[in-house]
Amino acid sequence: MIRDITLGQYYPVDSVLHRMDPRTKLFGTMVFIISLFFAGSLAAYGVATVFLIFVIRLSRVPFGFMVRGLKAILFLLLISVSFNLFLTPGTEVFRLGFLKITWEGLRLAGFMALRLIYLVIGSTVMTLTTTPNQLTDGMERSLGFLKRVRVPVHEISMMMSIALRFIPILVEETDKIMKAQMARGADFESGNLIQKAKNMVPLLVPLFISAFRRATDLAMAMEARCYHGGDGRTKMKPLQYERRDYVGYLVCAGYLAAVVLLG
Amino acid sequence: MSIRADHLCHLYGEGTAFEQYALKDVSFEIGDGEFVGLIGHTGSGKSTLIQHLNGLLQASSGKIYYNGEDIDGDGYDRRNLRSRVGLVFQYPEHQLFEVDVLSDVCFGPKNQGLSREEAEVRAREALTLVGLEERFWDKSPFELSGGQKRRVAIAGVLAMQPEVLILDEPTAGLDPRGRDEILDEIAALHKDRGMTIVLVSHSMEDIARYADRILVMNHGEKRFDGPPREVFAHYRELEEMGLAAPQITYVVHKLREHGISIPEDITTVEEARDAILELLRPERAKASGRQTWGKAGSGE
């Protein structure tokens, strides 16, 4: 039912991309996102497409998984495309009543759609090839310099990894409670909006209670193992750059330069 | 009245890298008024199987018939099926949500379209059946102890007055006394009301004591199906699946290895006691002429 959420779902295969340091992948994703905002010509989008396909092939994750995340932004995509399509002034191509489509509109809508789709696919590639723990590890290390200005980097990244870790658990829990209430005749599908919201109570109350219970259990388990925050804490697997990471940085930098040059 | 599974298969994550058979070609029929024990190692497909029986999960292939009707057929009223085949999930207390016990138990009957008054009559009846004292009925379900919560949750399904009751590990995490009480209440439902029961359990002792038939699942397949004494006779195969026979079965087998002619298909402590007492009768002991009996007798 709610299993379509791909963001934050790791796909376990062995590939260069999977083995890469999370910092490199974070950097790469950032570069890719930035590049999409620089790209304004077909040539630049062409380079972005080639890069994306190259990375997807490298990840060895089936293409179907990449596109799954698009479902979530379908609505947003439709709105932004139609706004751009109909509301951009310029040379007219087609007219239907008060709606008119212009060359500029077509161009803008097309680029906007591509940009959104690539944005989602690009970040999905990262989350599919990086476990949530690696990801927050990478962030903690990359943002370590902020500690000097008293930003609690470790605490934030710990909170993030716990939150990410709990998403699948809560999804599963929701599924279970939903089924249990359906076994008692609950109906989550029919009815109007207010009726539907009311029908959610038997699902949400147990879900919240279980989330709080899990949270206290986890806090207890962490304290029992002497967790006391980030100071002086060592890692079992410290992040370390390998040759593939340097290659990765080079490829990303080269790609960014190409897109910026092509405009 | 019966549930019939016909070549049931269930595939998880179809078309992905995680594709896996949860159920593989499972067929059986559960008749009216049977008490069936369902056992299997964690991940053997038990929970998946029972969720098919009330239409919560749909089979990838194969069919389920309830009273001869295909439950995945067009126009089959699955909500109605769910009130006839009651399913109590594992840790059912996690699904409680109402402000007081009585309202929570009323949730099921009210979903069946009953009025508040009628639902309350059913709820009171169900709460009495599970043996929860009346003074708890207007308390918040979250104030109760674990065992009491479990009873409320079971009552929540019973109040729908199902014809078949399926329970997934109803005693997990309870103390021995709470466990025995709940199992005795379930046994009473079977005996007094003729309710069909499917009990999923890890405890071979419980299964041996209450069930008249055992289904054994392993890696999504049905491995054994028969009365307890027949199934537990395969205790070596059961062990290979990470299961075991009741401990008394092992005692009996050990006794037989030592040359004592006790019947080997014993599955409960009571049966074993009777069989041993029978063997210890003085006239039989004399007839068999064995000295060891006297020693064993003093231990009894």
Percent of chain B with pLDDT over 70: 92
Q: Element (H or E) spanning B20, and its range?
A: strand B20-30
User: What is the rounded distance in angstroms from the CA atom of residue A74 to the CA atom of residue A72?
Assistant: 6
Verify that A85 and A201 share a domain, yes or no: no
Torsions phi, psi of A229, nearest 5? Answer: 95, -170
Judge whether B247 is closer than 8 Å to chain A, CB to CB.
no
- Quick check: A7 and A127 in contact, CB under 8 A? yes
Same domain as A125, residue A13:
yes
Q: What's the distance, CA B234 to chain centroid?
A: 20
Contact B9, B62 (CB under 8 A): yes
Same domain? A29 vs A124: yes
pLDDT tens-digit map of B58-74: 888 899 999 988 988 88
Interface touch B94/A186, C-beta < 8 Å: no
Contact (CB<8Å) B95/A180: yes
Of A176, A202, A210, the CB nearest to B107: A202
Q: Is the minimum CB–CB distance between A90 and chain B shorter than 8 Å? A: no
Chain A residues close to B88, C-beta within 8 Å: 183
- Spell out which residues of chain A touch residue B94, defining contact as CB-CB under 8 Å: 176-177, 180, 206, 209-210
Per-residue pLDDT at A8: 54
Q: Evaluate whether A124 touches A66 at the Cβ level (below 8 Å).
A: yes
Q: Is residue A69 domain-shared with residue A174, that is, in the same domain?
A: no
Task: State mean pLDDT over B277-298.
Answer: 60
Which residues in chain A touch residue B89, judged by CB atoms under 8 angstroms apart?
Answer: 176, 179-180, 183
Q: What is the mean pLDDT of residues B244-270?
A: 86
pLDDT reading at B144 higher than 80: yes
Q: Which of B14, B52, B81, B97 to mutate to test the interface with A (most CBs of A within 10 A)?
A: B97
Q: Across the interface, which of B15, B16, B160 has its CB nearest the CB of A184?
A: B160
Averaged confidence pLDDT in chain B: 87
Task: List, for residues A41-53, the tens digit of each pLDDT value.
Answer: 889 999 999 999 9
**Structure token pair of residue A209:** 């209670």
All structural domains of chain B: 3-76+163-228 (3.40.50.300), 249-299 (no CATH)
Examine the pLDDT at B289 and tell me if it is beyond 80.
Answer: no
Among A176, A179, A185, the residue with its CB nearest the CB of B79 is: A185
- pLDDT < 50 stretches in chain A: 1-7
> Of A71-80, B47-56, B125-134, B138-147, where does mean pLDDT reach its minimum?
A71-80
Contact between B17 and A182 using a beta-carbon 8 Å cutoff: no
Minimal-distance CA residue of chain B relative to A201: B97
How large is the average pLDDT for residues B174-196? Answer: 90
Provide the pLDDT for residue B286. 58
| A98/A47 same-domain check | yes
pLDDT exceeds cutoff 70 at B283: no
pLDDT tier for residue B300 given thresholds of 50, 70 and 90: very low
> Is A174 in the same domain as A147?
yes
Helix/strand/coil for A74: helix
> A185–B96: do the CB atoms touch at under 8 Å?
no
Answer yes or no: do A124 and A145 share one domain.
no
Which segments of chain A does DSSP mark as H helices, in order?
Answer: 16-19, 22-38, 42-59, 63-68, 74-87, 103-129, 132-142, 153-183, 193-199, 201-224, 243-262
Same domain, A10 and A69: yes
The distance of A59 to chain B (nearest Cα, Å) reads 14
Q: Are residues A114 and A170 located together in one domain of the fold?
A: no
For residues A125 and A141, membership in a common domain is answered with no
pLDDT confidence bin for B295, thresholds 50/70/90 = very low
Domain of A184? Answer: 132-232
- Is the CB of B54 inside 8 Å of chain A's CB atoms? yes
| pLDDT score at B18 | 67
Give the number of domains in chain A.
2
* pLDDT reported for residue A139: 86
Please determine, for residue B294, whether its predicted confidence score (pLDDT) is greater than 50: no
B82/A185 touch (CB, cutoff 8 Å), yes or no: yes
Judge if A39 and A163 occupy the same domain: no
Segment A198-209, tens digit of pLDDT: 888 999 999 999
For a pLDDT cut of 90, what percent of chain B falls above it? 47
The confidence score (pLDDT) of residue B16 equals 64
Q: How far apart are CA B84 and CA B165, in angstroms?
A: 8
Position B284 scores a pLDDT of 61
Q: Please check whether residues A1 and A117 belong to one and the same domain.
A: yes
Residue B237 tokens read as 């195969």
